[in-house]
Amino acid sequence: MSWTEEVFRLNQNRNFFEFNPSWSAAEKFPFSSALSGSGNLIAEFKRTTPDKRVICKHSLEKMAIIFQNSKISAASIVVEPVFFQTTIIDLLRFRRLVAKPLLVKGFFSETWQLEQLKTAGADAVLLLKELLPQQKLEQLLFYALRIGLETVLEIHQDNQLQSLQDLSFSALLINNRNLQTLEVDYQTACRTLQKISEKGFLQPVIVASGLKSGNDFLRYKNFSVNAFLVGASILKSSYPQQKLNAFLRKLADDAD
């Protein structure tokens, strides 16, 4: 069994998604608004990763306050207790400190999970195209639309684009990291962005993984990218606020 199959199986445990309903988050922020134009930055919190390359040096509260006081367009949090060591209770705590559009990432395959995430404060939820059968993906997209939860589809290969054309979703996230090997290939996004420009996709596009400094944005300067998602390089830094500000300055400079 691969680690991705294992994480899907483990996250079927309803105990991972239980919380006191009285703690639910009331205020919502439209995630799509964070993706207008270009030069947007999404900053992400997680405690670790399956390959243990990311070990967050800072508390959730510290990072949430840094994100809230910054000029990022949106925040992201991974909700996955086994490999990423972040829970739905962490989502509730994070939501209370961050009054910005919030994307929740994880390994979600059931409608009840989406319901719980929305109640806990998610504005948008990420769904993994590579790991969900088409029928299940369509079911989750329809349910998310019904309950007012925006959806971001994550792909890892340019050949996954073709099956998305008839689906309704809020944004597309291109992940440079191979889900099986966990290796990063910067050309994944370049190849996919080229195909997007040829096919005329209308959804906003987010690029993630392998963004260690603002100079990495230059790899995609010839393509239309609405937002970049960064996490590991900020969370591992001894000076996360300075690291985040460096990313923001680079995006601002490139926009001038």
Per domain, the residue ranges of the chain are: 37-255
Question: For strand 124-128 and strand 102-105, is the pairing parallel, antiparallel, or unpaired?
Answer: parallel
Q: How far apart are CA 80 and CA 176, in angstroms?
A: 20
pLDDT over threshold 80, residue 256: no
- The C-alpha atoms of residue 11 and residue 17 are separated, in whole angstroms, by 9
Taking only the tens place, the pLDDT of each residue in 180-237 is 888 888 888 889 899 888 877 788 999 999 888 888 888 888 888 999 999 999 999 9
Per residue in 108-121, pLDDT (tens digit) is 999 999 999 999 99
Task: Find the helix packing angle between 134-147 and 111-120, rounded to 10°.
Answer: 30
Residue type for position 184:
V
Read off the tokens for 134.
Answer: 């088409």
Q: Please choose, from the candidates 147, 115, 111, 123, the residue with its C-alpha nearest in 3D space to the C-alpha of residue 33.
A: 123
pLDDT tens for residues 121-160? 999 999 999 889 999 999 999 999 999 999 999 998 888 8
**Residue corresponding to tokens 């919380």:** 19
What is the Cα–Cα distance from 252 to 256, expressed in whole angstroms?
7
Q: What percent of the chain has pLDDT over 70?
A: 93
pTM over cut 0.85 = yes
pLDDT score for 25: 66
Give 162-176 pLDDT, tens digit per residue.
Answer: 888 788 999 999 999
Beta-sheet strands, E only, within the chain = 40-45, 74-78, 102-105, 124-128, 150-155, 171-175, 205-208, 227-230
Of 213, 230, 243, 184, whose CA–CA distance to 76 is shortest?
A: 230
Contacts (Cβ under 8 Å, ≥6 apart) of 179: 4, 128, 130, 131, 156
Lookup result for tokens 């400079």: 253
Exposure on the CB side of residue 195, measured as CA atoms within 13 A? 14
Please report, for residues 106, 228, 251, the alpha-carbon distance to residue 181 in angstroms, rounded to integers and kept in the order given: 18, 22, 30
The predicted structure's pLDDT at residue 185: 87
The domain defined by 37-255 carries CATH number 1.10.3720.10:
no
Would you state the pLDDT for residue 9?
75
